[in-house]
Structure 1
Amino acid sequence: MVQKEKLTDLKLKLSAFMERLDDMEPEETSIEDIDELIRMLEELENKI
Structure 2
Amino acid sequence: MGSPIKEKGEQVVFLKQKLTMFMDLLDAIEPESADLEDIDRLISIIDDLESKCREFKNRDE
Structure 1 length-normalised TM: 0.93
- Residue 25 of structure 1 is matched in structure 2 by 30
- Residue 9 of structure 1 is matched in structure 2 by 14
Consecutive unaligned residues in structure 1, runs of 5 or more: none
Aligned counterparts of 1:34 and 1:14: Cα–Cα separation in 2: 16
Structure 1 stretches of 4+ moved >2 Å: none
Aligned counterparts of 2:10 and 2:52: Cα–Cα separation in 1: 12
Instruction: Give 1:29 deviation, angstroms.
Output: 0.3
Aligned counterparts of 1:30 and 1:2: Cα–Cα separation in 2: 38
Structure 2 length-normalised TM: 0.75
Q: Which has the higher helix share?
A: 1
Count of aligned residue pairs for this structure pair:
48
Larger radius of gyration: 2
Q: What fraction of aligned residue pairs are identical, expressed as a percent?
A: 44
**Paired residue type of 1:43:** D
Instruction: Give 1:44 deviation, angstroms.
Output: 0.7
**Paired residue type of 1:3:** K
